[in-house]
Chain A
Amino acid sequence: MQHSEAEGRAAPAPDDIEEVELVRRIAGKDRHAFELLYRSYYRRLTRFVEQLTRRRHLVDEILDDTMLVVWRKADSYNGRSRVSTWIFAIAYNEIMRAHHRERRASALPAPDAPAVVQSVETDFIESESRSRLRNIVAELSVEQRAVIELTYFHGFGYKEIAGITGSPLNTVKTRMFHARRRLRALLVAGSQE
């Protein structure tokens, strides 16, 4: 899937056009359009917020805050990025705000209280590699997790990730480099079994 950027981007895909139209209608306070966009992004954003915060109690709050910004600031969407990039950037900002707020309030060491997944009833048999993956991902910084999650799960390009996280391109590449080095341990450990 080709992700386009503001400069030199290809013709937008039908989905992109549809989403741009939804945002335009939301700017006009069209509640139905908002519901459609909400439904379309709910699961993706929930997953993104869960992976980055690792704190169940923050997920709903951040999701609410993100979609509230979409509702209130839809008229500020300028069409220079895909709608998904714009919405994920809002979510990322909300995540980082919550992250810093939490750290200040509780002086928690790092963003890694028990992972969301560990708090649910996991009675499925899980493979060793997936379990190792969770441990390794939990040790990454929130910024590194964002790059991994946006690349591996949400299929964004690095330029879009730079837009979402408000970081220079080289920073995105560097975060990915360090995260990959950690993740490589997955395969090394696997081959030693």
Chain B
Amino acid sequence: MRLYPIDDPQHAEAADLLPWFANGTLDENERAQVERHLADCIACKQDLAELRDVQTIYSEEALEQATSQGLARLRRRIAKLEPGHNAFHLREVPARKTFPWWQALLVAQGAMILVLATAFYMRSEPGYYHTLASAQAPVHTGAAVRVIFDGQQPEGEIRGVLRGLHARIVDGPTPEGAYTLDVPAGEQARALSELRQRKWVRFAEPAASTAAP
């Protein structure tokens, strides 16, 4: 383990590639090259740790932002639908803490209210997107799974896992960050089991069939 001069070509090349080493997108040769260098370079090892910290903050902020915007948008819609009704008192749901079953039920209930309210709104106020993102249920070919991620993982990694399960996000996030996944028929149990093994999956439960009526 040593300190390389900053203009050392091997060091400079590996240092430049660190962000993509961290997100797992380097090809085999590049990955091996960076790994070899990391085993020997104090500065790059420290850089990688810092980079991962920044990436974690970035992912958290992204989740927080999406959730806040979705919630704000829905509040405005619900305020139009139900004037005077202060809906969605969901601020007490902890952002990144344990998620007991009774909160899961609240989430499912909230998601149902959201779906109904959105469907009602979109029927009553057709716009340009009405035909593209219409109130019709998303097209599903298999079983549905409802899942909440803890926001610690890069979206690329989540998509990699979903891809392995042949699962596709067809709805969400709800204000609580719940997504609905469409998984191939007969694969629901395996998908649930796989998802629950991931430490960044906070909640994974079968969802009521969302196949188009």
Contact = CB atoms under 8 A, between A and B. Distances in A.
Interface string B31-44: 00000000000000
Q: Is the interface of A mostly helix, strand, loop or mixed?
A: helix
A47 B154 CA distance: 14
B26 interface: yes
Q: Is the interface of B mostly helix, strand, loop or mixed?
A: helix
B54 A187 contact: yes
B61 A130 contact: yes
A3 B25 contact: yes
Contacts of A152: 19, 23, 54-55, 58-59, 154
Contacts of B95: 124
A111 B132 CA distance: 30
A116 B62 CA distance: 12
B25 A157 contact: yes
Contact of B68 (A38, A124, A155): A124
Interface of A: 1-3, 8, 13-15, 32, 34-36, 38-40, 42-44, 47, 64, 67, 116-117, 120-124, 126-127, 129-130, 133-134, 148, 151-158, 160, 173, 176-177, 180, 183-184, 186-187
B68 A173 contact: no
A183 B54 contact: yes
B160 A1 contact: yes
Contacts of B60: 127, 130
A130 B20 contact: no
B157 to A, nearest CB: 6
B24 A2 contact: yes
Contacts of B55: 152
A176 B16 contact: yes
Interface string B151-178: 0001111011001001011100000000
B51 to A, nearest CB: 7
A153 B63 CA distance: 10
A155 B133 contact: no
A189 to B, nearest CB: 11
B128 A187 contact: no
Nearest to B66: A47
Contacts of B17: 158, 173
Contacts of B19: 151-152, 158, 176, 180
A155 B61 contact: no
A1 B128 CA distance: 35
